[in-house]
Each structure stands twice: as C-alpha cells, then as structure tokens.
Amino acid sequence: MTSRPSSSRDSASAPPSAAPEGLRARRRRETAQAIHAAAVRLVERDGLAHVTVDMISAEAGISPRTFFNYFPTKESALAVGPPPLTDEQRRRIGEGDPRPRRVLADLVDVLIHHLDEDPPLSGGRRHFRAMVRIASAHPELAAVVHARFDAFESELTGVVAQRLGVPATDPLPALLTGLALSVVRVGLQQWSTGGEEPAERDGTHGTPTAAGRRDTDEPGDSSPAAELRHAAALLRTLLSDQPE
C-alpha cells in the first residue's frame, strides 16, 4: 500500500526499452518501502511527535532530500494505501465475461495478487499491526488512509462498470466491488491476527532489536495470500448454489 512517486526527470531520460523502466520502478518501490518501514519503526518506538524527517532518513539510509522525492511529509510516509492498479490488472478486471459471478471471481483474484505483492504487507504481521496501531492513535493519519482506500474502491467500481457495460452509478458494480473488498478485509484480518503473542494482546510488543525487529517476531512470517484465498473460497461456497 505504498505511494508510487513519479519524477518527470526520470521519465524524460528513460530509454525506450521497457526493461530499464521496470528496474527503475522496482528501485523506487523498494526505496519508498524502506522509508515507510523506517517511519513505522521510529514512530512505534518514539511516538509521532518526536520523530523527524531527518530521523526517518537516517534510519532508512537515505538523505532528507531523497525522502522528499518520495513523500512530502513524515505523515505521508506513514499513511499508506493500496498501490494503483497496473494496466494489466485493469484489463483483467475490465474485459471478459460480463456475467456478475465471473466478474467477481476475476476481481477477487486480481485483488489477492495485487495485495500479496504490496510492500507494506510483505513486511509481515507485526509491521501491519504497527501500521494499524499508529493510524488508530492518530485520526489525521486514519483519515488519509481511509481516503486512499475510498479512491481505490471508486477506481475498481469504475473498471467493473466498464466490463458490465453499465454506468458507474449503477448499484451492481458497487455491490461486486464491495463483496470483493470484503474478502480482502476478512482475509487481512485473519492473517494479521495469526500467530499473535499474548504480550502483544496485553499491549506490549517485545524488545526492539538493532535490525528494527522485535524479539516476538516470527522469523518466517507468512504471506497474506493464503488467508485471502481462504476467504475467497468461503465466498465461492456461499455463492455455489446461486444462479449465474
């Protein structure tokens, strides 16, 4: 759920080959994620009011100037949202069989892969929980996160409406999008609470280590994809006796 910063200078100097552009985009995502992860670690440790851009930059191993190439404020580095859909993902959702069940199945499948590759989720359960705690403690951050998710839902609804051949104001695209996002919410909730330690439920979070991890972190934290797929399977079961 990381911002994808853009640079007109990079675009102007990019070679025509698609491969270097892919490498550059990956490096941008990796840097943005390193900044985001550093911000989360520091705010968890010191509190939002005591963390500065200089501190985040030092923790991420970059300069403050580089930080501002990615995020305008420290708050924006914390308030992440879903990454934009790729052209291929938009095509998979927006083209094909217009029957609602088929649209829903494709939408859920795309969202599972989309979120499974999202850098903040790849940080593991502890990182995800920390993001939730920080947003919950700071309403201004929660408002930004909700706004980004609302914009993402509106984007999805528009693409679904395109496939159905109906206006975006029609209730069916919104209903299908809402069902798909409910699968995501349930799957992420189940994943994020998996392996939760008693200490964390009591409000303590282990001892920080030099690497920014905590002594209760699972060394092999699982991907959320399995729980997302399980939630999708439950939805398919519920719909299995219904007509197309």
* Structural domain boundaries in the chain: 1-78, 79-244
pLDDT score of 99: 95
Rounded-to-integer distance, Cα 119 and Cα 37, Å: 9
pLDDT score of 44: 94
pLDDT tens digits, 62-81: 999 999 999 999 999 998 77
pTM of the model: 0.70
pLDDT score of 82: 82
State yes or no: pLDDT of 15 exceeds 50.
Answer: no
CATH 1.10.357.10, applies to 1-78: yes
pLDDT score of 38: 95
Rounded-to-integer distance, Cα 195 and Cα 214, Å: 14
pLDDT score of 25: 80
Rounded-to-integer distance, Cα 66 and Cα 7, Å: 12
Rounded-to-integer distance, Cα 162 and Cα 156, Å: 10
pLDDT (average), residues 136-142:
91
Domain 79-244, CATH number (from 2.170.130, 1.10.357, 1.10.150, 1.10.10): 1.10.357
Rounded-to-integer distance, Cα 143 and Cα 7, Å: 26
pLDDT score of 120: 59
State yes or no: pLDDT of 9 exceeds 60.
Answer: no
What sign has the CA pseudo-torsion 95, 101, 107, 113? negative
Domains 1-78 and 79-244 in one fold: yes
- Assign 14 to helix, strand or coil: coil
pLDDT (average), residues 17-38:
77
pLDDT score of 12: 41
State yes or no: pLDDT of 135 exceeds 80.
Answer: yes
Question: If you average pLDDT over every residue of the chain, what do you get?
Answer: 79
pLDDT score of 54: 97
What backbone torsions phi and psi does residue 209 show, to the nearest 5 degrees?
-110, 175
